[in-house]
A and B are shown apart, each in its own frame.
Chain A
């Protein structure tokens, strides 16, 4: 089982206490009467699916109940960093090649 650090609780907690909640930092276009159908469709449905580090929303549903953001590597499943909702993505975690990680015992 993975341990995920909840930025609100400030501690590592077991993976099954969390729920994934889609891509992070998606900006809703607006105002609605000036948004084209294409823009709206892109906001609703189009997502990147990169190999490597992605920013995602997660929720500590069986803990403090709050949403936060996490940068996760889709190849190694390593959580690079977690940060509170509303904070910008840490610049050093930008998209890039998957980083090899140390073997875990």
Chain B
């Protein structure tokens, strides 16, 4: 339940707990070392995500391949410093950048059978399962704001939105929800 958004039987919106987020820019040759240090192999296919564990719980790991040399790594907030230290020491011999962007954005989960249709109220991507299957992750737009969309299951989307733009996103989604409920 998120302030300003009314959940229905067809979809509900949940705000993520505090998380540590990193942007890793590195060449393909560093992937193996990074995956080993991170505890989860970084997906090689562009626009795909991988994860294990439950969000916010100890040991949870998320890796999203969003650009040719760009991965987002999301872990529980308390494990951020350890993960960063492990990656930095493993990647010492590779040219790379690892930036902590934990507070730049907020995470949401949009789930339910009507989730894809509701997102399409503002997102121009084809979110049919044939074009956007579970496992796919990419940046796109919702009306005027950029967001990251990761489909974990047919009716389960994880979203990341810049913190200052989140109120706009929630308000626009709530407005669209009136037409979709």
Chain A interfacial positions (CB closer than 8 Å to B) = 1, 8-11, 13-14, 16-17, 62-66
Interface residues of B in 157-175 (CB under 8 A from A): none
Nearest A residue to B45 via CB reads: A10
Within 8 Å CB of B141, what residues of A?
A: 16-17, 62
> Do A64 and B124 touch (CB < 8 A)?
no
> Do A64 and B140 touch (CB < 8 A)?
no
Q: Which stretch in B10-18, B62-70, B76-84, B101-109 binds the other chain?
A: B62-70
Per a CB cutoff under 8 Å, which of A16, A17, A64 touches B68? Answer: A64
> Do A62 and B140 touch (CB < 8 A)?
yes
Q: Measured between alpha carbons, how far is A74 from B70 in the docked complex, in Å?
A: 33
> Do B46 and A14 touch (CB < 8 A)?
no
Q: Measured between alpha carbons, how far is A13 from B127 in the docked complex, in Å?
A: 12
- How far does the Cβ of A61 sit from chain B's closest Cβ, in whole Å? 8
- Cβ of B55 under 8 Å from chain A: no
Within 8 Å CB of B66, what residues of A?
A: 64-65
> Do B139 and A63 touch (CB < 8 A)?
yes
